Amino acid sequence: MGIFKKPISEVNESDLQTLIDNGVRESKEIEYKSILEITTEKQKAELCKDVSAFSNTNGGCLIYGISEDSAQDSGVPKDLCGMKEQNKGDTVNQIHNILDSGLDPKIRFTNIEVIDIPSSNGKVCILMDIPKSFSGPHMVKSTGRFHYRNSCGVSACDTAELRLLFDREGAKSDLARKFRSDRISRIKNSHELPASLDPDCPKLVVHIFSLDSFSAPSPLLDVEMFKDYRKWELLVPMIAWDHYSGMNVSFNFDGPARVVQLPQVQGRHFPLPCNYVQLFRNGVIELVDASILTNYGLNDDFFRIDVLEVRILQAVKNHLKIIGEVGLSAPIFVAASFLNVKGLKTERGSKTIDREDLIIPEVSVESLEFDHVAIERNMKPVFDSLWNAVDRYSSSCYNEDGTYGYVWYSY
């Protein structure tokens, strides 16, 4: 949530004035500009340069409508000058269009808000919340240059710095995929897991992580936070049913974990623990469920795909907060895997899945803010891939506009 500690859609004049009153100077994560001018090609290139520099470094906030104090060191905010009121929708669309056409590759999910300044006769400020990118570095097309931020502002990358940008993100991605591959192998063989799961049982596996987890040196989880028992409520295993006998809480070499043992429910018996959530010391979250894909223990050859989708969405939404608590940054990646699923159907009479494992590519959630719609949209490719495996075009639970339309109720 950046410098304001809340979504920028909730930022108001008072929040901006606080930056000035507290003398919050420019840094790698924040920059002030008195006015936004995007008429000429040079001005458009300048906008692209500023935005890409944030994205290529650590992300941050670009604020238009705050002037700097020229009498002091550069970067100290002086006045909430605001800018002339304009059509908010047109301005936001224009900025997005300039960025989409001016950067390669495009920067996704830049959040732009036009903030009213009532004390300034209807003037406005424009806030741009720019995420750190893991699909970059991003080049300004019109100049062919790459930029990054340092303590002095924006600088152009030289050859060595550009090589570091490419190598840094590529190395993190490789480590993340290797970690996922190793964990899938261990889960399939029920080797060194928090719970002794049946190795032959179909399983749903979800990994949630930030590439920060694979930085050098990698972050190390402070398990002392779990002395506060309320923190355990941030770790919520996926369960097919809303009825369970409780979750035990424990530590192992990898970090804190919670395991669920379902009781006998309506004649359905689970002889082994059916799922767990593990929080690794580097901040990766691993959720494993062995009940949803077995039709809640009936061991039929079909499963409720609508229930599965809802449970995955709940898991992603529930665990964004723990990612923030650990101190990792967005974007967050979600990787879903379906193990030992050959021969299963999503309904009686549907086509069966024709392979043992479905390892679906990661999707990204670009903000730690709890945005139901954005999370649901970003998860659609995961669900579509599963539906494709049973000869369906896409998930039937989404509306035509891409919003999730399934209404959950307890079974």
Question: Encoding tokens for residue 22?
Answer: 């507290």
Q: What is the largest CA-CA distance in the chain?
A: 77
pLDDT higher than threshold 80 for residue 110: no
| pLDDT tens profile 296-346 | 555 567 788 888 898 899 889 888 888 878 878 777 889 999 999 998 888
| pLDDT tens profile 347-396 | 766 789 999 999 999 888 877 776 778 888 889 999 999 999 988 888 88
pLDDT higher than threshold 90 for residue 44: yes
Q: Is 390 exposed, middle or buried (0-12, 13-18, 19+ CB in 10 A)?
A: middle
- Phi then psi for residue 132, to 5 deg, are -65, 130
Q: What is the strand order of the sheet 145-150 is part of?
A: 103-104, 139-140, 145-150, 153-156
pLDDT for position 257:
92
Long-range Cβ contact pairs of 154-159 (< 8 A, separation 24 or more):
154/49, 154/50, 154/53, 155/53, 157/56
| pLDDT tens profile 130-189 | 887 766 788 899 988 888 888 778 888 877 777 766 666 667 778 888 999 999 999 998
pLDDT for position 411:
31
pLDDT higher than threshold 60 for residue 99: yes
| pLDDT tens profile 216-263 | 666 678 888 888 878 888 888 887 555 555 567 788 999 999 887 665
How far is Cα 167 from Cα 248, in angstroms, rounded to an integer?
A: 41
360 torsion bin: left (phi>0), alpha (psi -120 to 50), beta (else):
beta
Rounded to the nearest 10 degrees, the angle between the axes of helix 305-326 and helix 372-388 is 130
Query: When comparing pLDDT for 78 and 5, which is higher?
Result: 78
pLDDT (average), residues 87-107:
87
Closest CA to 116 of 126, 106, 103: 126
Mean pLDDT over each residue of the chain, to the nearest integer: 82
Q: What is the strand order of the sheet 123-130 is part of?
A: 30-33, 60-64, 123-130, 111-117
* CA distances for 306 relative to 58, 65, 238, 309, 411, angstroms: 37, 47, 14, 5, 12
Beta carbons within 10 angstroms of residue 229's beta carbon? 8
| pLDDT tens profile 113-127 | 899 998 888 899 999
Domain positions in the chain = 2-156, 167-388
Mapped onto helix, strand or coil, the DSSP state of residue 148 is strand
Most confident of 32-41, 80-89, 130-139, 296-305: 32-41
Is CATH 3.30.950.30 the classification given to domain 2-156?
A: yes
pLDDT higher than threshold 80 for residue 272: no
pLDDT for position 409:
40
Residues 44/110, Cβ–Cβ less than 8 Å:
no
